[in-house]
Amino acid sequence: MKKLVRATLIFGMLILMAGLVFTGCQKEEAAQGKVVVDVMAYGDNSNQEGVNWVRIVDAFEAANPGIDIQYELLYDEAYHQKVVARLTSGDVPDVAYMGADARWGAPWMEASQQWDHTPHLDAMYDKSLIPPHGPNGEIYEIPLGTSNITTVLFMNEKLVKELGLSAPKTYEDLKAMVPAAKKAGVDVITIDGADGWAWGSCVLSSFIARTSGDPQWVSKAVAGENKFTDKAFVDALTIIDMLVKDGIIPAKSVLVDYGSNVSNFSNGKALFMIQGQWAAGGIENPEVADNTILLAWPKLPFEKAATAGTVAAAPSVGYGVTKKGASDPAVRDAGLALINYFYSEAESTQRLRDGAIVAPILKNYQVPSDLPLIVKRKVELAQSAGTTEVIDSYLTGAPNDALNEGMQKIVSGQATPAEIAAKVEELARK
Amino acid sequence: MEAIIIARSKFSLSALIARIVSYIVLISWTLITILPLFWMTYSSLKSNEELTRNIYAFPHDLFDNGDDEYIVIAPQLNVIPDYDIKKDTRERLIIESATISPGRRLMVYFLVKEDLPPELAALEPGDRLSTAQLPPPMRRMISWKTMTFNYRSAFVRGGLGFKFLNSVIYAGVSTFFIVLLGLMIAFGIAKMPFKKLSLFVMGLVGLGYLISQQSVLIPLYLVMSSLGLTDTHLGIIIVYTAFGLPLSVLLASQFMKGLPDSLIESAYIDGASTFRAFLSIIAPMCVPVMITIGIISALGIWNEFLLVLVLASTDITKSLPVGVYSFSSLTSTQLGWQLAALVIATLPAMIVYFSFQKQLARGVVGGAIKG
Amino acid sequence: MKLRERRALGVYLAFILPGVLLYLLVVAYPVVYSVALSLSDYNPNRGGDWNFVGLLQFKTMLSDPNFYHALRNNMIVVAVSVFGQIPIGFILAYILYRRMVKGGDFFQIMVFLPHFLSTIVIGTMWKRMFQADGPVSRLIQIFSGDPSAQFDLMLHADTVMYPIGFALIWMYTGLYMIIFLANLQKINDSLIEAAKIDGATEPQIFLKVIVPILSGTILVSAVLAIAGSLKGFDLIFALTTQGLQRNNAMVLPIFMYQTAFQNYSNPMRYAYGSAISNAIVIISVALIMASNFISRKLGVGEETY
């Protein structure tokens, strides 16, 4: 027994010493004459964004020996948590992945860390493709690409043709596909309904624009000019109810998550998939990917002619220098250099190929001719369809949560569109 | 006489039912625990394409790789050489797998042209070849790398080796202090005078157990920030130790209260100092609860994610759960890597668990009390 | 006299202080900050002033239906822990201790194993089991003969706590089993032998002999269970998808987290979140004091060696 205790004590001492040695090691790095840029990057070891980021930073540092990039690479929840933690304690990064809408820009706006890039905007960017973020046309971040389409209807053209069907032009066309699909044992539309945000961003955002005929209906509603209990909004929710009742979207889709959604489509288990344009790069099966057409929603019930054929697109997020980073000219310039490298033509083309963006925001950009088919079709959609607002760019917090949850309730038969509309209206006005 | 016989047979029937129910519960428990873990382990050896095709099938693609198809590609932006191009200037034929993550530049090999037969070395980008055509050493290398694709990727991309070490340090050092300080406080509370003060300390420390980590996240980060201890090993160890103390004190003091005072009295009478009594008599008898506290604490720290996410910003201080989480994003395209990372994180805990089980099962009890 | 007392005090402090000081440093300030925050309208992000608003945040909380929904769910979690995990853990420990089944060691390993898995692992695996046409759905389809049946217990607020409760018991019972096992091994065997000679059956031995002796352990476990239930966040967060499932299974810590970190429409969200977390502590203390009171009434904790 005594031997065990003694052994444990010695072991503990060793680990303790190792720990202290490491603590000491950390202090030494810092200043060796290099400009240090502290970056909060968005990416993950398992997706293209993260893999590319690591590569880009390595290449940038090799090309710029006087600059040292210290970054933290996080994704999803972890990213937002860390941003909040750092901003509240005053440990603000110099460069960060941010947006300018209610979802991505809120923490930075609250902490007054948004910095106007316009005076330092490099000539390589096409300013007309960058939407203004601030009240006086300020630009707070460089968007990854032109607008980020969130309501795409991916169609497996080969499978559709095999069943003797063709691309739907109206809601009735979709409804007519149900019997044939059932016979073949496939779903008409698959959607990752388990994720609340998917309903808001990838479905309702387009529906509300169609039923109201106003591409900016949502922002007006948040500002108080429209009510969520207006007929247009209730109609939009009703369409979702109809889709489920007519069997176009299976009720069990509320139990399908993002990964399963894409893999259902990749495995040919559905004719259509609902997601944002970023999912194009995730279709594993090359046979399916090459035969995928990207569509806007067909003509829907209650639709107004003004917004026919539109898709919802969110202002793109991207990297930007913070006010803290801009306060030191050397850091600011290094940060801008990194950003310009990140958005350079070669890198933007790579992102285009990977399917992460629709089109870069660079001046005189030549689209390469050897892009994957699915990327080309994405560009076609972006060029042909008009765009409308995405809901969670304007509606956040409790009302948005209630809305997303409400749609899931509608799909699983627990609530009616009118009830949900009333709840959202109530929470939005508090 | 008859009454006893009847009583005994009744006893057997209810005992039998009890045994059957126990077996059913225990076996179901085992299955629910083991089957998903089993799935996770064998699925971590499948490529992402395999997983998308059929999520329950046994691994095949990564192992049956003697005849894999590869495409020759030209040097490009996202094709990163795995050798130093400045030092090694031999010409290379770059090939990429056509079946495993095609087009993503994740399964790329740089074959030295000199070592290839001439017809292969002359291939142009776009041509296809099969691994069966390659010289045996290359074929073996590619075969090995294909089999270990998921695990190599997880280790290298996630920096899991270093994070593993960090996790060991955090769990080891923090647990050591949690046990040590916990026992000391428990001894003071349970076996020494000043009962009123002890009650206060006990309440104070116990209250800490009620506090969830999310609620103190922001102020904790503020405190650590002002002390300059964010993103340091020392800071993280201090935080883990402090949060582990309440449970330790609670369990240890309850255990110590059950130890007879007579032992300590006799030690004092023999002239031992309090410290001596603690070290030589009480501590050895507390080994069971030390093991319990040690295991619970070490385990909690090994799996802990939120605190270390917020307190550690650079790869030097991040621990394993953060590394594992970096493969679990919502839009992740590499389920195989994620599962491999999960296995890497779970395996050590399992190994330690199975080794320590013997200690727990045999019921280590200090010799002094029995009989 | 005084000198001896002082020296005794010195020794006492030498044992207590190192740990307590460390604890206060790390835990005290955040707690005080949190209490202060809950009585103000401060938003750390925006700086500005601390305005003392009294019990405003708490009033908001008490009139928020989401709070009551989360509270109700949390009480269910507490009940599952105290009346599910502890008795089951105790009985399992007893069964293993008395060697009533073969392969006791193996089963002990299996029951405690879930505790060793990180919630990321459990979340990944169980979410997959619960998804559309996943293993659990398939089982339901086989057993009910309905090929379109799905596992939708998590979609309805009134049934979501069944799978959650099941998961909670699966994961945490092992801990209590081990605690009881460690304490069972401290018991003098002769007591059990004597009871057997007197003709007692196993259930009688369990209820009349063992339970009273270990009543102190039961109390400590109950306290741990209550505390853990009210601050437990990871498992429920990992098992539910964001949206309907998580809102159905909302418990107080998740409610606090979502309010403070994600509810951007409320500029006082940090203060409100602090009020919620302080309410959690108050509720925990109340429940623990209640269980202490009840156990004292039942005569728990007396040593009957």
Q: What are phi and psi of B360, to 5 degrees?
A: -65, -45
Under an 8 A CB cutoff, do A408 and C244 touch? yes
- Which residues make beta-bridge pairs with A38? A70
**Of A18-32, B242-256, C230-244, minimum mean pLDDT range:** A18-32
What's the rounded Cα separation, in Å, for the pair B367 and B371? 9
Which amino acid, A152?
V
Give the closest of A5, A15, A349 to B284, CB-based. A5
Distance CA(B261)–CA(C292), nearest Å, equals 24
> Quick check: C220 and B250 CB within 8 A?
yes
* pLDDT, tens digit, 9 for 90 and up, residues B221-269: 888 888 888 888 999 999 999 999 988 998 888 778 877 888 778 877 7
Q: Is B362's pLDDT higher than 60? A: no
Contact B215 C280 (CB under 8 A): yes
- Dihedral sign of CA atoms B309, B314, B319, B325 in order: positive
**Interface check B341 vs C, CB under 8 A:** no
Domain for residue C42, yes or no? no
- CB-CB neighbors (< 8 A) of C262 in chain A: 80, 397
* Secondary structure (3-state) at B78: coil
What average pLDDT does range A178-195 have in this prediction?
Answer: 93
pLDDT at A271 over 80: yes
pLDDT at B216 over 90: no
- Chain B residues touching residue C278 (CB < 8 angstroms): 215
Amino acid (one-letter) located at B49: E
> Which chain B residues in 31-60 lie under 8 Å from chain C, judged by CB atoms?
32-34, 36-37, 39-40, 55
Contact C213, C304 (CB under 8 A): yes
CB contact under 8 A, A278 and B331: yes
Q: What is the pLDDT of residue C80?
A: 92
Q: For B26, what's the count of Cα atoms within 13 Å in the CB-facing half-sphere?
A: 24
- The tens digit of pLDDT for each residue in A54-70 reads 999 999 999 999 999 99
pLDDT in tens, C53-74: 888 889 989 999 899 999 999 9
What percentage of residues in chain A have a pLDDT greater than 90?
Answer: 57
- Integer Cα distance of C300 and C291 in angstroms: 11
User: Which residue of chain A has the CA closest to C158?
Assistant: A414
ipTM: 0.84
Domain-embedded: residue C141:
yes
| Confidence (pLDDT) at A10 | 64
Average pLDDT of chain A is 88
Question: Is there a domain that residue C24 lies in?
Answer: no
Integer Cα distance of A127 and A33 in angstroms:
35
What gap in Å lies between CA C240 and CA A185, rounded to an integer?
29
Q: State the burial class of residue A181 (Cβ atoms within 10 Å of its Cβ: 0-12, 13-18, 19+).
A: buried
- Mean pLDDT estimate for chain B: 83
Mean pLDDT within C271-286: 90
Query: pLDDT band for position A165 (50/70/90)?
Result: very high
Per the DSSP assignment, residues forming a β-bridge with A292 are: A156
Count CB atoms within 10 A of the CB of residue A393: 24
- A218 pLDDT exceeds 90? yes
The three-point CA angle B226-B229-B232 to 5° equals 155
Residue B326 one-letter amino acid: S
Spatial contact of B79 and B105, defined as CB atoms under 8 Å apart: yes
- Determine the residue of chain B that is closest to A286 in CA distance: B102
Contact C186 B258 (CB under 8 A): yes
Question: How many domains are there within chain C?
Answer: 1
Select from B311, B332, B355, B359 the residue whose CB has the most chain A CBs within 10 Å, as the one to mutate to test that interface. B332
Residue in chain C lying closest to A409 (CA):
C244
Position C304 pLDDT exceeds 60? no
CA-nearest residue of chain A to B366?
Answer: A1
Among the partner-chain residues B216, B255, B357, the one whose CB lies closest to the CB of C34 is B216
Answer yes or no: do C46 and A111 touch at CB < 8 A.
Answer: yes
Inter-residue contact A278 to A351 (CB < 8 Å): no
Half-sphere exposure of residue C21: CA atoms within 13 angstroms, side-chain side: 6
Per residue in B13-31, pLDDT tens? 877 888 888 889 899 999 9
**pLDDT (0 to 100) of residue B296:** 82
Name the interface residues of A facing C (CB cutoff 8 Å).
80-81, 84, 87-89, 102-103, 106-107, 110-112, 194-197, 199, 251-257, 260, 396-401, 404-405, 408-409, 412, 414
The share of chain A scoring above pLDDT 70, in percent, equals: 93
Contact A88 B104 (CB under 8 A): no
Asked if the structure places residue C48 within a domain, the reply is no
Q: Do C150 and A255 make contact, defined as CB atoms within 8 angstroms?
A: yes
Nearest chain A residue to B158 by CA: give it: A45
| Higher pLDDT among residues B371 and A310, named by residue | A310
Give which of B50, B52, B215, B276 to mutate to test A binding, by max A Cβ within 10 Å: B52
**Contact call for C23 and B205, based on CB within 8 A:** yes
Average pLDDT over residues A223-228: 92
pLDDT at A29 over 80: no
Domain ranges for chain A: 35-145+316-364, 148-314+379-428
Residue C218 and residue C301 in contact, taking contact as beta carbons nearer than 8 Å: no
> For the ranges A6-10, C117-121, C137-141, which has the lowest average pLDDT?
A6-10
Please name the member of C131, C263, C265 whose beta carbon is closest to the beta carbon of A255.
C131
Beta bridge partners of B95: B72, B109
Identify the sign of the CA torsion A84, A86, A89, A90: negative
Averaged pLDDT for residues C136-147: 87
pLDDT exceeds 50 at position A256: yes
What does pLDDT average to over chain C?
85
Contacts of B187 in chain C (CB under 8 A): 15
A112 phi-psi bin (left φ>0, alpha ψ -120 to 50, beta other): left
CA dist., res. C9 & res. C7, Å (int): 5
> What are the pLDDT digits (tens) for A342-391?
999 999 998 888 888 888 899 888 888 888 888 888 888 888 888 999 99
Residues from chain A contacting residue B149 (CB–CB below 8 Å): none
In this prediction, residue A13 carries a pLDDT of 62
- In chain A, which residue's Cα lies nearest the Cα of C248? A405
Distances (CA, A) of C230 to C85, C89, C234: 15, 20, 12
Contact A81 B284 (CB under 8 A): no
Which chain A residues have a beta carbon less than 8 Å from that of C156? 412, 414
Determine what percent of chain B is predicted with pLDDT higher than 70.
Answer: 93
**Nearest Cβ partner of B222 from A89, A285, A347?**
A89
Among the partner residues C110, C116, C233, nearest to B29 by beta-carbon distance? C110
Domain pair A35-145+316-364 / A148-314+379-428, same fold: yes
pLDDT at B132: 86
Highest mean pLDDT among A277-291, B291-305, C68-82: C68-82
Q: How far is B299 from chain C (nearest CA, A)?
A: 6
Backbone angles phi, psi at A194, to 5 degrees: -70, -25
Domain A35-145+316-364 class? alpha beta
**Mean pLDDT, rounded, for C220-229:** 86
State the CATH class of domain A148-314+379-428.
Answer: alpha beta
Nearest chain A residue to C263 by CA distance is A397
What is the predicted pLDDT for the residue at A25? 47
> Is B310 touching C (CB cutoff 8 A)?
no
Q: Using alpha carbons only, how large is chain B's radius of gyration in Å? A: 29
- Domain hosting residue C177, numbered range: 60-298
Kindly state the helix (H) or strand (E) to which residue B333 belongs, with its residue range.
Answer: none
Mean pLDDT across C168-195: 83
Which residues does chain B have within 8 Å of residue C11's beta carbon, measured at their own beta carbons?
A: 192, 274-275
Q: Tell me the mean pLDDT in the region A403-409.
A: 94
CA distance A215 to chain C (A): 23
Counting as contact any 3 or more CB pairs under 8 A, the partners of B are A, C
Contacts of C134 in chain A (CB under 8 A): 255
Of C18, C109, C305, the CB nearest to B357: C109
| Partner C contacted by B331 (CB < 8 A) | no
CA distances from residue A85 to A321, C152, C260 in whole angstroms, order as listed: 18, 36, 11
